[in-house]
Amino acid sequence: MTGYGNHTPVLKRHMEPELTEKLHSITFRATKAECLDLPETIDIIRYVELEDDADKHYKNIAKDSYTELRRAEQMLRSSNTVTAARCISARSLI
């Protein structure tokens, strides 16, 4: 990332506390509860039936998504990559 005048900004460790202090002095944080007077969320679930053509497209998309996930899982299993999921599954075998 380059900044003004095509210079690359560099933050050195000893500069971090000063930068943090300056940022905290000019920043303002407000939560949604402090700013907005909104009613509670109301979830309304409506079931609809798709037309035949739309239903076919939806089912194809869902099938393709599951196929893509299975392929990705198989790739992860076959590689030597260490992931959090693999560590957790390995711990459950112990």
Question: How far, in Å, CA of 49 to CA of 59, rounded?
Answer: 13
Instruction: Tell me phi and psi for residue 87, to 5 degrees.
Output: -65, -45
Q: One digit per residue, pLDDT tens: the chain, 94 residues?
A: 566 777 777 778 888 899 889 888 898 888 888 888 878 889 999 999 999 999 999 999 999 999 988 888 887 777 666 666 666 665 555 5
What residues contact 9, with CB distance under 8 A and at least 6 apart?
A: 1, 3
pLDDT in tens, 70-94: 888 887 777 666 666 666 665 555 5
What is the pTM (predicted TM-score) of this model? 0.36
Contact present, 9 and 3 (Cβ < 8 Å): yes
71 CB neighbour count, 10 Å cutoff = 10
**Domain segments of the chain as ranges:** 4-93
